[in-house]
Amino acid sequence: MALEKRTGAYALELLESVQGDTESNPLLSYVNVSPYKSEAWTEGDYDPEALKRSLSSKSAQGSSVTLTESYSAGPSISEAISLTFKSGNGDSFNGSGTYGWTESTTASGLYSYSENDSLNFSWSYLGDKTSTSDDLTIKVSRSLSEKGSDSSGSGQASGTETFSYSISALGTLGIAYSVSGQTTWGGSYGSLGEKYTSTGSISAFSYKNLNDGLTVTIASGS
């Protein structure tokens, strides 16, 4: 066991690394925890080599952060991470993610795999407590399920991704927005080439803009 001393700033650095994935999650660009990394955080024991890792830390400014991670390997691989942060000012973040991978090869040479991932997070920024004009709330939920097989250079794959995004910033940006839906795909490949199809659908959508008075709502089944 190689215990190391880590502070809450370490956990917030992990959050910033996730924040950098703005290409697939553009709402993450509104998440900013940089100012809190410089707070005076307490140290906690952390074992980076353990299959299960945890860290709790508080700052002199009243902020707190809790990080838990787990990892297992064998015939299948699974990873999970959970991060909870609350600043002394009332800003908060809750995030969790999972990753699962299973693969196998039969005696006849048939290779198959399956993958299941998920990502959930919410960010609440209060800013100036005396007003709600700068309040900001963001929520993101994504899940992915994929499976496939291959034998002698021919195979097939299929998958489904569900998503839900929302942002409420009527004070700062003058908008509120939410959308949810799913994407499915599937196909095969081999000596005759590849053939894949993909379909996407929106199950619900809403948009409100105070700047131009526009409101759009599409309910599920509409």
Are 155 and 186 within 8 A, CB to CB? no
* Max avg pLDDT among 22-26, 66-70, 89-93, 152-156: 66-70
pLDDT number for residue 25: 73
Q: Would you say 143 and 120 are in contact if contact means Cβ atoms under 8 Å apart?
A: no
3-class DSSP state for residue 143? strand
Q: Which two tokens stand for residue 186?
A: 């599937």
Q: Give the pLDDT confidence score for residue 10 in this predicted structure.
A: 93
Provide the domain count of the chain. Answer: 1
What are the start-end ranges of the H helices in the chain? 8-19, 34-37
Report CA torsion sign: 16, 20, 21, 26. positive
pLDDT at 221: 52
Domain region containing 144: 4-218
Of 3 and 117, the structure prediction assigns the larger pLDDT to 117
- The 10s digit of each residue's pLDDT in 120-177 is 989 998 866 676 777 889 999 999 999 999 998 899 999 999 999 999 988 878 889 9
Place of tokens 């991932």: 117
Is residue 222 over pLDDT 50?
Answer: no
Q: What is the mean pLDDT of residues 67-83?
A: 92
Q: Of 3 and 27, which is predicted with more confidence?
A: 3
Q: How many CA atoms lie within 13 A of 203 on its CB side?
A: 8
CA 44, 48, 50, 53 dihedral sign is positive
| Number of residues that make up the chain | 222
Count of beta carbons in the 10 Å neighbourhood of residue 7: 20
Q: Does the pLDDT at position 23 exceed 80?
A: no
Question: Left (φ > 0), alpha (ψ -120 to 50) or beta: where does 74 sit?
Answer: left
Per-residue pLDDT band at 51 (split at 50, 70, 90): very high
Structure tokens at 196: 């894949």
What was the pLDDT predicted at 199? Answer: 95
Does the pTM surpass 0.85? The reply is no
CA distance 194 to 7: 50
Quick one: 191 exposed, middle or buried, by C-beta within 10 A (0-12, 13-18, 19+)? exposed
